[in-house]
């Protein structure tokens, strides 16, 4: 019986994919992972509210840049790249050099993933490890169904929970001192 060749895709392979309308991919562990169909209303609504508040806070203080998906974030060295598209991300002014026209090359300071039934396990387990490995300082896991945001900060052993915020609470961030987001306005 013939054995199957183990082929790992590179970032160059990923970038050379023909554009297919409504189809997005992430490159994880050398495999092209098709993204699920476009997010539903709850996901989009939460993303817009959260990104808007984060963007205003960051812009008013000149802290850096906030972006929304789809925008590639390339983590890792050439030939071993991992390519993800966080729902929302923040890159500090001091690290603005990692932002390029077509992608971010390096870990954003903050990555935000909004859970959906199709992505929840990947976001909670795989991306949590991936973001910690490459040095994302803060990771927010947003659950629109439960109306919660878990804020994780990077420590010596990986992520530690800095807070679990519910709909009637106000989110704060160690990464962005002074940030206060009322979750009744997000959910």
**2 in any annotated domain:** no
**90 in any annotated domain:** yes
Total domains in the chain come to 1
**100 in any annotated domain:** yes
pLDDT at 22: 41
pLDDT at 180: 98
Residues of the chain with pLDDT under 70: 1-7, 13-24, 35-37
- For residue 171, which of 154, 158, 184, 155 has the smallest C-alpha distance? 184
pLDDT at 23: 58
**61 in any annotated domain:** yes
**31 in any annotated domain:** no
| C-alpha span between 72 and 118 (Å, rounded) | 20
**25 in any annotated domain:** no
- CATH number at 86 reads 3.90.1570.10
pLDDT at 39: 81
- Report whether the peptide linkage leading into residue 70 is cis, meaning its omega lies within 30 degrees of zero: yes
Domain residue limits at 160: 40-182
**22 in any annotated domain:** no
**18 in any annotated domain:** no
pLDDT at 21: 43
Q: Are strands 25-28 and 31-34 parallel, antiparallel or unpaired?
A: antiparallel
pLDDT at 2: 57
| C-alpha span between 46 and 183 (Å, rounded) | 10
pTM: 0.84
Alpha-carbon separation of residue 177 from 93, 103, 122, 161, 186 (angstroms): 15, 27, 29, 16, 19
pLDDT at 10: 72
């Amino acid at each position: 019986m013939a054995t199957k060749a183990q082929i790992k895709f590179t970032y160059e392979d990923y970038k050379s994919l023909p554009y297919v309308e409504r189809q997005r991919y992430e490159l994880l562990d050398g495999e092209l992972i098709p993204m699920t169909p476009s997010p539903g209303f709850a996901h989009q609504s939460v993303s817009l509210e959260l990104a808007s508040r984060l963007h205003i806070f960051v812009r008013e203080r000149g802290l850096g840049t906030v972006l929304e998906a789809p925008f590639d974030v390339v983590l890792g060295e050439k030939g071993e790249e991992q390519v993800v598209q966080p729902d929302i991300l923040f890159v500090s002014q001091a690290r603005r050099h990692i932002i390029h026209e077509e992608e971010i090359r390096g870990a954003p300071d903050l990555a935000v993933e909004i859970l959906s039934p199709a992505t929840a396990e990947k976001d909670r387990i795989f991306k949590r490890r991936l973001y910690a490995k490459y040095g994302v300082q803060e990771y927010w896991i947003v659950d629109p169904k439960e109306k919660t945001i878990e804020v994780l900060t990077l420590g010596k052993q990986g992520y530690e929970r800095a807070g679990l915020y519910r709909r009637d609470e106000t989110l704060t961030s160690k990464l962005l001192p002074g940030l206060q987001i009322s979750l009744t306005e997000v959910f």
